[in-house]
Structure 1
Amino acid sequence: MSEPRPRADGRAGGGPDGATDFPTRLTKLVGVRHPLVQTGMGWVAGPRLVSAAANAGALGILASATMTPAQLRTAVREVASRTDAPFGVNLRADALDARERVRIIVDEGVRVASFALAPSRELIAELKDAGVVVIPSIGARRHAEKVAAWGADAVIVQGGEGGGHTGSVATTVLLPQVVDAVDIPVIAAGGFFDGRGLIAALAYGAAGIAMGTRFLLTSDSTVPPAVQARYLEASVKDVTVTTKVDGLPHRMLHSELVAALERSGRTVALLRAVRHAASFRKLSGLSWSRMIREGLAMKHGKDLGWGQILLAANTPMLLKASMVDGRTDLGVMASGQVAGLIDDLPSCAELVDRIMAEASRARAALPG
């Protein structure tokens, strides 16, 4: 991707020399103005949100797991048509077509590739050889050490407060562990929504913060208004962790559907998963044999049973029901705990400007 150019609205484009009060290893590495990342949320982080985040000076990341390769290429080109700033694409490292998607990223000049799971050494090397910055998301120190040894340029560290699939270790415990363990830039995720959090993360040694729920709750987000309203109404206690969606710990808003899932037995859950697998197969264009191969890829190197893999078919369709179709009664709403602290829907530009102003005030208020 070429060096970011000044924007049409007169604000400086992101870049190593772009104006920022908080230059960090992250801003220098990827060429953004502010050490903020909008995470790649499935069905949420589409071209509109990603380009708005990028134009605001943050690193916007496009979610590709629910897209076909052709849809991914179209989405990348749409983002590029909306912004001259750097942006990224989030990939599933265990997807059978991961290399095809990597080729799209390289061909289209995307600046950053992020991963929800640790990519292979070979995939990292292929991206880096093409000049793409590689930033995996990890949830444990040993995973950070592994991808750093394989050549990752930075890592996003998500603590247990984060939305979606999550671990049990809080950000305030996990972040310093990872910062002390690796020499590459560390981006903190899980529990961040304002400038005070940015200053706290920088004090821990992070190079920036990544936020999902906070960017989901902006006026640039395509999430239906009725769903955003549910987030804004939620208290901290309304955000729960359940394993009933796909067999793995998943943080989301508590709802009638979540309660029903937790009451249902394994047989009912598996039957529901089969129906959702059939729906996702039709939506994605995958054959049953391809889906079985994807399941085998998920099993590789992991202690997962076939029942758990089948349950994983719940996730994309249950998320689509809420995040695209607006059916809070039929879908799940992945959420960080910070949903209970958010009460407005600013634009991405307003949000980023506010966070950076808050960070400046918080820094100035520190003793000395």
Structure 2
Amino acid sequence: MRTALTDLVGVRHPVVQTGMGWVAGPRLVSATANAGALGILASATMTVPELRAAVREVRSRTGAPFGVNLRADAGDAAERVRIVIEERVRVASFALAPSRELIARLKDAGVLVIPSVGARRHAEKVAAWGADAVLVQGGEGGGHTGEVATTVLLPQVVDAVDIPVIAAGGFHDGRGLVAALALGASGVAMGTRFLLTSDSTVPDQVKERYLAASVRDVTVTTKVDGLPHRMLRTDLVTALERSGRPAALLRAVRHAGAFRKRSGLRWSQLVRDGLALRRGKELSWSQVLLAANTPMMLRAAMVEGRPDLGVMASGQVAGVIEDLPSCAELVERIMAEAGATLGRLPVAPAGVAAPPERSGRRC
């Protein structure tokens, strides 16, 4: 299936595995790339040396294109961008909109820039600054999320920009891919579906918690880091929601200290990143402090296998996923389902012309 996304990036299938912290490491990314989709390496939870090593490990496992997800507001963003350029990574993706200067630097080096957005105006801004494509996530998506459903947000963005649009939030199979293409997207991005594969390094006991979840077991809370965060409902999440503000802030200070030790960052660097986060998302100081909870609480579940001590970011699709295929099996299944779905669609009556194709959205 050829789309504007496959042409742009050079992958065989219009499917993207998102850069999930503690989850999207070299094994998952390389397995995704070898399956013909675009794997995105998560760098925010890596030190700078770990990032370079991870990129080289992915390169040793695959010759296919892949990407690296970066935090545009991180104090060491320039250094991480330098690694992406030096290591000749195909795609740089961003959770927050990168600056015009950062986009220009990457594009001058031949790196494709694909920011993630949650609103039409953000898509318009990064497109005007030269982004090569944009990933738009609706409220169904896992992790930090918005309130607007993908089916409403996606057409808005498609109509607003003339670059390829990748749809995220609520996708897990071939039917969803076809639906996204019908709404004007050039492909779909999935996080939870790739987390629940045999190539994912998430501990088995944590995967079992995801597989056992129903749609109603996926909730949105602000009690982890002060921002709307979609995750599995657990006893810990319920306890966090019942805890008072002093306890929450104390927990955030402990987690900030733990993350500082693991990352090797100085307190001054953490404060600088907090200031950038506050400006970028218009957060209160309490929310900035609470943001320190996210990486360590995710690590407790995704790395240490302790869902009783950590949180499990999740899209709503966790409630309809029932197996753990390999990345190769998953991508092959999605493309087969997409083909079968397209084959079942009614044919346009004779004499009814198809709408003119818009620039950058060939499917």
CA deviations on 1:18-51 (whole Å, 9 max, x unpaired) are xxxx100000000000000000000000000000
CA deviations on 1:80-133 (whole Å, 9 max, x unpaired) are 000000000000000011111011000001000000000000000000000000
Q: CA separation in 2, counterparts of 1:302 and 1:41?
A: 20
- Which of 97, 100, 104 is matched with 1:125 structurally? 104
The aligned counterpart of 1:335 is: 314
Whether 1:363 aligns to 2:342 is yes
1:194 to 141, 152, 173: 173
3-state SS, counterpart of residue 37 of structure 1:
strand
Q: Offset at 1:301?
A: 4.5
Q: Give 2:109's aligned amino acid.
A: A
Counterpart of 2:161 in structure 1 is: 182
d(CA) in 1 for partners of 2:211, 2:274: 36
Aligned-pair distance for 1:300? 2.4
Equivalent residue number for residue 270 of structure 1:
249
Provide the secondary structure at the position in 1 that maps to 2:224. Answer: coil
Aligned to 1:48: 27
Residue 224 of structure 2: which of 223, 242, 245 is its match?
A: 245
The whole-number CA distance in structure 2 between the counterparts of 1:302 and 1:249 is 12
Pick one of 89, 98, 101 that aligns with 2:68. 89
Identity %, equivalent residues: 80
Aligned pairs for 1:168-247 (under 5 A) are 168-247=147-226
What amino acid is the match of 1:102? Answer: V
Compare relative contact order (CA 8 Å, sep 6+) and give the higher one, 1 or 2.
Answer: 2
2:306 match: secondary structure:
coil
Residue of 275, 284, 287 corresponding to 1:305: 284
Amino acid at match of 2:64: A
Could you state the TM-score of these two structures normalised by the residue count of structure 2?
Answer: 0.95
One-letter amino acid of the counterpart of residue 154, structure 2: L
Instruction: Tell me the equivalent position of 1:153.
Output: 132
Q: Aligned partners of 2:242, 2:150: CA distance in 1, in Å?
A: 30
- What stretches of structure 2 of length at least 5 have no aligned partner? 348-363
Q: What is the deviation of 1:292?
A: 1.1
Q: Give, as a single letter, the amino acid of the residue that structure 2 aligns with 1:351.
A: L
Secondary structure at the aligned position of 1:300 is classed as helix
| SS of the residue 1:131 aligns to | coil
- 3-state DSSP of counterpart to 2:69: strand
* Residue number in structure 2 paired with 1:70: 49
- Letter paired with 1:74: A
Q: Alpha-carbon deviation of 1:303?
A: 2.0
Match of 2:122 among 137, 143, 149: 143
Is the aligned partner of 1:32 residue 2:11? yes
Superposition TM-score, scaled by structure 1 size: 0.94
The residue number in structure 2 matching 1:314 is 293
1:225 corresponds to which letter in structure 2?
D
Q: 1:288 Cα deviation (Å)?
A: 1.0
Corresponding position of 2:356: none
1:215–1:302 distance in 2 versus 1, CA, 3 Å = closer
Check if 1:80 corresponds to 2:35: no
Cα offset, 1:168, TM superposition: 0.2
Aligned length: 347
Deviations 1:245-291 (A, max 9, x none): 00000000000000000000111000000010111011111111111
After superposition, the C-alpha distances for 1:319-368 in whole angstroms (9 at most, x for unaligned) are: 00000000010000000000000000000000000000000000000001
CA shift at 1:302, angstroms? 3.8
- Describe the superposition over 1:184-219 as per-residue Cα deviations: whole angstroms up to 9, x where unpaired: 000000000000000000001100000000000000
In structure 1, C-alpha distance between the alignment counterparts of 2:28 and 2:268, rounded to whole Å: 34
**Match for 1:247: what amino acid?**
G
CA deviation profile, 1:43-72 (whole Å, cap 9, x unmatched): 000000000000000000000001111100
From 224, 238, 242, give the equivalent of 1:259.
238
Question: Which one-letter code corresponds to 2:235 in the other structure?
Answer: E
Q: Is 1:104 equivalent to 2:83 in the alignment?
A: yes
